Amino acid sequence: MSGRPLDVLEESLSEPVTVHLKDGESFYGTLSGYDQHMNVVLESADANEAVLGELDVEEVDNTTIIRGDNVVSVTL
């Protein structure tokens, strides 16, 4: 696994991950997409319960879209 963030995300596609946000919130799901800004898309079996607050996080059904500038880390 390469140390470059986008390479790590590429290798983590379709894998279960936890995304930690700068406000301390965490989201768990299967990484189904990302872009060059580290915006990430998670799919989960159960709908996430989250306090959306001021962060740019959108939940649609069992899909969570997280804006990359809120991401602190992504762990497998």
Domains, the chain, ordered by start: 5-75 (2.30.30.100)
b/e map of 39-66 (b: 16 or more CB within 10 Å)? bbbbebeeebeeeeeeeebebeeebbeb
Tell me which residue of 8, 6, 69 sits closest to 35, measured CA to CA: 6
At 62 the pLDDT is 84
Mention every residue, 6+ apart, whose C-beta is less than 8 A from residue 72: 20, 21, 22
Amino acid type, 18: T
pTM of the model: 0.77
At 57 the pLDDT is 65
At 47 the pLDDT is 45
pLDDT (tens place) for every residue of the chain, 76 residues total: 567 889 999 999 999 999 999 999 999 999 999 999 999 999 987 544 444 445 566 656 788 999 999 999 999 9
At 44 the pLDDT is 85
